[in-house]
């Protein structure tokens, strides 16, 4: 088996095209990082930092686009550009299944149908978010940490590109850890604030738990396949799957069993990175970082790496039914639970964070149902609309002077029309309204899940699929509800900030923002300085529009609204890239299933796909119409009715008053954080403390107890001594004194004397052993 793998591997290495500039795509951001990180502090103008940061990512994007077009020109089977730079390390001689391997891990990049799309996403969204950051982080330009932020963002883009473009799992792992590190650095960017530092730590530790699973997973892959190259793995998986049994570590089981194990381990990794139950807790806290970070890392790119990994490893999952079921179960649970958590949040970024968790759950549902292309497609559409929403919320937060509580917003539609329009479009997309992109991706997932149970008219599939589908539908309704609620609270009604509060809804500002009025010396536009005149960022950045409102927020500068609107535009049209076959039959406006066909070469086919005529059943049309015409709009209208039609929110308040317990649980996110704190973190801390005090209590206790017992014993014995034993003791003592005088000389207290005696003892032993 090894020999045949080696052959496959040799073939793939030979296909490397060394002349290409593919390596520049990930390395350009790295150069940007090095330039900015090493020289940023010295640079006079932050414009230079902008130039390096934006330039490197921008050129990387153009290069990606170029290679993508090249890729599209290739025939479907050969759509892969491979570049091997150098041998990273040689693991030859390691013992794997079937003997010693001669495998060398290459530092290699592979630009294929999946990684190409992901690279486009990373560089494209990355560039827009870099652009947004130049506006959003404007006030950091003055206090010398601006270069640090941009450098971290570049490093993140490098790591993420490494993750998606790497040609083997080690390269992916390098990027995987790299994005974890960058996430830590960026969440804790304002590390002088304690909540940011704690959130960064939480994200890092939670991710490490996931990484552990991921590592076990790919170690097992290496043990079984003797290689980590995707091409080799793809090539040999069929042979491995047909082995009668695999024995590793003394355990013999069928290949399916091992694949299930690998799949579950890898999914643990995906859970951490992609924020699934039970490891999702870091993502909402990660909102402590600057908003562009939330958009780039925690909505658009990094959290999708788990999905990317599972799609890459689809050949494992297809052969691992149990692992797929686990993915489906956790995905659907996350999709629903996180969506309900979003219902009662007031922090605008928290709503979006839970929304992200929930949408990621949807993607995993798709993967779990075996529809990898549907799940991946939702990754892309979600990246567009969620990045748009996050950046839009960033604009709103910046315009409202780092106010994140939606109760203190409202009525912003009139004041920031472009941001409002973009976000409303993105909301339609995420809610799944036809023909916005969310409809195409989300309903495809839900349909695939349902199809798993429905099975062409026989309702005999696994019940799990039905349950997952119901959870997914509920989650979709919740999504539509909380997003409409967010829009209504933020953009409609009247502005409730800055002392205007017709309905008594606003709350004292919580210090979530980084530059709030807490005595920060750099707060050059704080409330106190300018009263309610409040020049927005736009004014600060040379936006020429006069401050016509006198108070309250105004539209932000073009650097900020441009990325938001571009992403919103994408969120509107992107869906047509995967136009469903069933709709194509009745409404052939664009070619159907472009994306699925594009990604198909990457997917492992259990059996040769039959390309016969496949009539979409009526039930598909029915569900589609139901979801987009009744289900989501109903939820949206409900939210509209509760929060817009009635500006005092009395209906929502009545509902809360009616079910106070429910509200409390949802608002407190089901106390999961508290549960972890109490059930995991506290015990570990306490255990450590106990280990620490083991010494004082047990070891010292034994000593002290012995001392006390001796004392009592001595007290008891005292009189016995004095009268009975003394005479005898005196006698004995006399002898002891006489004899011990001889031995006392031996106890010099010098270690070397003791060492000498030891050596003599050794000599005696040696003599006795060898000579006698």
Partner 1 sequence: MEHQLETIGRNMFAIFGVMALCGAAFMVASKSAVHSVLGFLFAMLCVAGCFLSLDAEFLGMAQILVYAGGIVVLFLFVVMLVELSKFKEKGVFQLQTRSAVIAVIVGGVAFLAAFRNLLFGAASPEALVLRPELAQGLAVAQQNAQAVSRGLFSDFLLPFEILSVILLVALVGAVVLAKTERV
Partner 2 sequence: MVNLNTVLLISSILFAIGIAGVLVRRNALVILMSIELMLNAANLNFIAFARHSGSVSGQAFALLVMGFAAAEVAVGLALVVALYRKRDTVQVDDINLLKG
Tell me whether residue 719 or residue 770 sits nearer to partner 1 (CB atom). Answer: 770
**Candidates 143-151, 308-316, 563-571, 751-759; binding stretch for partner 1 (CB under 8 A):** 751-759
Nearer to partner 2, 690 or 740 (CB): 740
Q: Please tell me whether residue 748 binds partner 2 under the rule CB under 8 A.
A: yes
Min separation Cβ 755 and partner 2, Å: 6
Least CB distance to partner 1 at residue 763 (A): 5
Q: Report yes or no: 282 and 203 within 8 Å, Cβ to Cβ.
A: yes
- When asked if residue 737 is in the footprint of partner 2 (CB under 8 A), the reply is no
Distance between CA atoms of 602 and 112, rounded to whole angstroms? 9
Residue 770 interacting partner from partner 2, partner 1, none (CB closer than 5 to 8 Å by kind): partner 1
Which region, judged by CB under 8 A, interacts with partner 1, from 117-125, 379-387, 592-600, 761-769? 761-769
- Out of 609, 618, 712, 771, the only residue in the binding site for partner 1 (CB under 8 A) is 771
Residue 410 to residue 493: CA distance in whole angstroms: 6
543 touches 557 (CB < 8 A): yes
- Interaction of residue 755 with partner 2, rule CB under 8 A: yes
> Which span sits near partner 1 by CB under 8 A: 165-173, 306-314, 350-358, 764-772?
764-772
Is 764 near partner 2 (CB under 8 A)? Answer: no
Q: Note whether 127 and 62 are within 8 A (CB).
A: no
Looking only at residues 508 through 567 of this chain, which bind partner 2 when binding is defined by CB under 8 A? none
Per the CB < 8 A criterion, the answer to whether 431 and 528 are in contact is no
Q: Is 751 in the site for partner 2 (CB under 8 A)?
A: yes
Q: Angle CA(7)–CA(8)–CA(12) in degrees, nearest 5?
A: 115
| DSSP string computed for 80-137 | EEEEEEEEEEE-TT-EETTEE---EEEEEEEEEHHHHHHHHHHHHHHHHHHHHHHHHT
Instruction: Pick the closest to residue 152 from 355, 256, 296, 331 (CA basis).
Output: 296
- What is the C-alpha separation between 469 and 478, in angstroms, rounded? 14
Q: How far is the CB of 754 from partner 2 (least distance, A)?
A: 8
CB of 770 to partner 2, least distance (A): 13
Contact stretch for partner 2 (CB under 8 A) within 62-70, 322-330, 659-667, 741-749:
741-749
Listed in sequence order, the residues at least 6 apart from 431 whose beta carbon sits closer than 8 Å to its beta carbon are 438, 476, 479, 480, 483, 484, 632, 635, 636
Least distance from partner 2 to the Cβ atom of residue 733, Å? 17
214, two tokens: 């991921």
Q: How far is CA 51 from CA 20, 36, 255, 681, 736, in A?
A: 25, 10, 52, 44, 89
In the list 195, 692, 734, 756, the residue contacting partner 2 (rule: CB under 8 A) is 756
- Are the C-beta atoms of 381 and 575 separated by less than 8 Å? yes
Q: Report if residue 102 touches partner 1, rule: CB under 8 A.
A: yes
State the DSSP string of 600-651: GGGSPPSSPPP-S--PPPHHHHHHHHIIIIIIHHHHHHHHHHHHTSSTT-HH
Q: Is 692 in the site for partner 1 (CB under 8 A)?
A: no
What three-state secondary structure class fits 764? helix
CA-CA distance, 124 to 143, in Å (whole number)? 29
Phi then psi for residue 153, to 5 deg, are -60, -40
With CB under 8 A as the contact rule, the residue among 45, 548, 696, 752 that binds partner 2 is: 752
Query: Which residue, 714 or 758, is less far from partner 2 as judged by CB?
Result: 758
Minimum CB distance to partner 1, residue 102 (Å): 6
DSSP string, 681-698: IHHHHHHHHHHHHHIIII
> Is there binding between residue 767 and partner 2 (CB under 8 A)?
no
Q: Which is nearer to partner 1, 608 or 745 (CB)?
A: 745
Q: Which of 101, 112, 99, 95 is nearest to 12 (CA)?
A: 112
739 binding partner 2? (CB under 8 A) = no
What does 102 bind: partner 1, partner 2, none (CB cut-off 5 to 8 Å by kind)?
Answer: partner 1
Question: What is the nearest approach in angstroms of partner 1 to the Cβ of residue 569?
Answer: 52
Nearer to partner 2 by Cβ, of 548 and 737: the residue is: 737
744 part of the interface to partner 2, by CB under 8 A: yes
Identity of the residue, 247 or 748, whose beta carbon is nearer to partner 2 in the bound complex: 748
Q: By C-alpha distance, which of 419, 414, 391, 403 is closest to 526? A: 403
Q: Any contact of residue 100 with partner 1 (CB under 8 A)?
A: yes
Among 72, 729, 732, 763, contact with partner 1 (rule: CB under 8 A): 763
Q: Nearest 5°: phi and psi at 82?
A: -120, 130
Q: Which is nearer to partner 1, 95 or 456 (CB)?
A: 95
697 binds, options partner 1, partner 2, none, Cβ within 5 to 8 A by partner type? none
Q: Which residue among 42, 242, 750, 769 contacts partner 2 (CB under 8 A)? A: 750
The b/e string for 643-666 (b: 16+ C-beta within 10 A; e otherwise) is: bbeebebeebeeebeeeeeebeeb
Task: Give 607 or 771: the residue with its C-beta nearer to partner 2.
Answer: 771
Min dist CB 247 to partner 1, Å, is 18
Beta strand residue intervals within 130-248, DSSP E: 246-248
Part in contact with partner 1 (CB under 8 A); list of ranges 319-327, 435-443, 684-692, 760-768 = 760-768
- The reply on whether position 629 binds partner 1 by CB under 8 A is no
Task: Outline where DSSP puts E strands in 121-250.
Answer: 246-248
* 741 near partner 2 (CB under 8 A): no
Give the one residue of 66, 72, 90, 724 binding partner 1; rule: CB under 8 A. Answer: 90
Instruction: Answer yes or no: are the C-beta atoms of 534 and 517 closer than 8 Å.
Output: no
**Nearest distance, CB of residue 102 and partner 2, angstroms:** 17
Contact present, 515 and 523 (Cβ < 8 Å)? yes
Residue 747 contacts which entry, partner 2, partner 1, none (Cβ below 5-8 A, type-dependent): partner 2
765 binds partner 1 (CB under 8 A): no
Q: Which of 78, 92, 535, 701 binds partner 1 (CB under 8 A)?
A: 92
Of 66, 89, 734, 759, the one binding partner 2 by CB under 8 A: 759
- According to CB under 8 A, which residues from 213 to 272 bind partner 1? none
Q: Looking at residue 20, what DSSP letter applies?
A: -
The whole-angstrom separation of Cα 430 and Cα 441 is: 10
In angstroms, give the least distance from the CB of 707 to partner 2: 21
The b-or-e profile of 441-467 (16+ CB within 10 A means b, else e) is bbbbbbbbbbbbbbeeeeeebeebbbb
Instruction: Give 244 or 745: the residue with its C-beta nearer to partner 2.
Output: 745
Q: Which stretch binds partner 2 (CB under 8 A): 353-361, 528-536, 592-600, 750-758?
A: 750-758
Contacts to partner 2 by CB under 8 A: 744, 747-752, 754-756, 759
Contacts to partner 1 by CB under 8 A: 90-95, 100, 102, 750, 752-753, 756, 759-760, 762-763, 766-767, 770-771
């Amino acid at each position: 088996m090894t020999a045949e793998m080696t052959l496959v591997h040799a073939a793939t290495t030979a296909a490397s095209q060394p002349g290409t500039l593919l390596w520049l795509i990930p390395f350009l951001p790295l150069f940007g990082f090095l330039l900015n990180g090493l020289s940023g502090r010295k640079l006079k103008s932050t414009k230079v930092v902008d130039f390096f940061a934006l330039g490197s990512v921008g050129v990387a994007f153009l290069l990606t686009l170029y290679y993508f077009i090249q890729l599209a020109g290739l025939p479907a089977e050969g759509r892969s550009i491979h570049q091997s730079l150098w041998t990273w390390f040689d693991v030859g001689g390691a013992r794997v299944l079937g003997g010693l391997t001669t495998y060398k891990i290459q530092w290699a990049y592979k630009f294929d149908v999946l990684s190409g799309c992901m690279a486009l996403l990373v560089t494209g969204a990355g560039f827009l978010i870099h652009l947004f950051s130049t506006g959003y982080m404007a006030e950091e330009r003055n206090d010398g940490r601006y270069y640090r932020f941009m450098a971290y963002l570049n490093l993140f883009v490098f790591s993420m590109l490494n993750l998606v473009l790497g040609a083997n799992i080690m390269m992916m792992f390098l990027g995987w850890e790299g994005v974890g590190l960058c996430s830590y650095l960026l969440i804790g960017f304002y590390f002088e604030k304690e909540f940011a530092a704690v959130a960064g730590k939480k994200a890092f530790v939670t991710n490490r738990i996931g990484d552990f699973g991921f590592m076990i997973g790919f170690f097992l892959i290496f043990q079984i396949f003797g290689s980590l190259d995707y091409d080799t793995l793809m090539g040999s998986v069929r042979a491995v799957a047909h082995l009668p049994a695999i024995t590793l570590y003394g355990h013999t089981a069928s290949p399916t069993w091992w694949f299930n194990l690998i799949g579950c381990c890898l999914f643990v990794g995906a859970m951490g990175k992609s924020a699934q139950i039970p490891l999702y807790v870091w993502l909402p806290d990660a909102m402590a970082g600057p908003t562009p970070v939330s958009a780039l890392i925690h909505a658009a790119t990094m959290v999708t790496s788990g999905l990317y990994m599972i799609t890459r490893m689809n050949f494992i999952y297809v052969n691992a039914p149990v692992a797929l079921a686990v993915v489906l179960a956790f995905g659907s649970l996350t999709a629903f639970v996180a969506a309900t958590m979003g219902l009662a949040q007031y922090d605008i970024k928290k709503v979006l964070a839970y929304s992200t968790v929930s949408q990621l759950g949807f993607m995993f549902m798709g993967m779990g149902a075996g529809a990898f292309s549907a799940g991946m497609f939702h990754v892309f559409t979600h990246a567009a609309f969620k990045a748009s929403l996050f950046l839009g919320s960033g604009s709103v937060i910046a315009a409202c002077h780092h106010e994140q509580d939606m109760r203190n917003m409202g009525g912003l539609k009139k004041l920031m029309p472009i941001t409002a329009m973009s976000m409303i479009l993105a909301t339609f997309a995420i809610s799944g309204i036809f023909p916005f992109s969310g409809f195409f991706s989300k309903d495809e997932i839900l349909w695939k899940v349902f199809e798993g149970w429905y099975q062409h008219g026989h309702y005999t599939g696994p019940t799990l699929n039905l349950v997952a589908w119901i959870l997914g539908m509920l989650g979709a309704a919740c999504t539509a509800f909380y997003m409409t609620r967010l829009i209504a609270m933020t953009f409609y009604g009247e502005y409730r900030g800055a002392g205007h509060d017709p309905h008594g809804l606003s709350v004292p500002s919580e210090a979530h923002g980084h530059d709030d009025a807490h005595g920060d010396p750099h707060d050059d536009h704080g409330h106190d300085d300018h009263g309610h005149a409040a020049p927005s960022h736009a004014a600060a950045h040379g936006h020429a529009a006069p401050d016509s409102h006198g108070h309250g927020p105004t539209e932000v500068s073009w650097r900020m609204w441009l990325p938001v609107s571009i992403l919103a535009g994408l969120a509107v049209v992107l869906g047509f890239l995967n136009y469903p076959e069933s709709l194509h039959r009745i409404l052939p406006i664009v070619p159907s299933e472009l994306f699925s066909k594009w990604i198909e070469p990457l997917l492992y086919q259990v059996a040769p796909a039959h390309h016969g005529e496949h009539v979409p059943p009526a039930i598909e049309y029915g569900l589609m119409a139901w979801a987009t015409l009744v289900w989501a709009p109903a939820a949206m209208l409900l939210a509209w009715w509760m929060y817009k039609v009635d500006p005092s929110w009395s209906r929502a308040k009545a509902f809360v008053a009616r079910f106070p317990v429910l509200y409390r649980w949802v608002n407190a996110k089901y106390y999961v954080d508290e549960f972890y704190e109490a059930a995991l973190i506290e015990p570990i801390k306490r255990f450590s403390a106990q280990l620490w005090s083991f010494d004082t209590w047990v070891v010292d206790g034994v000593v002290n107890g012995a001392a006390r017992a001796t004392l009592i014993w001595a007290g008891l014995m005292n009189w016995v001594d004095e009268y009975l034993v003394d005479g005898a003791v005196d006698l004995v003592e006399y002898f002891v004194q006489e004899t011990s005088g001889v031995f006392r000389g031996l106890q010099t207290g010098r270690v070397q004397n003791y060492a000498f005696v030891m050596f003599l003892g050794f000599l005696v032993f040696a003599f006795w052993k060898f000579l006698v």
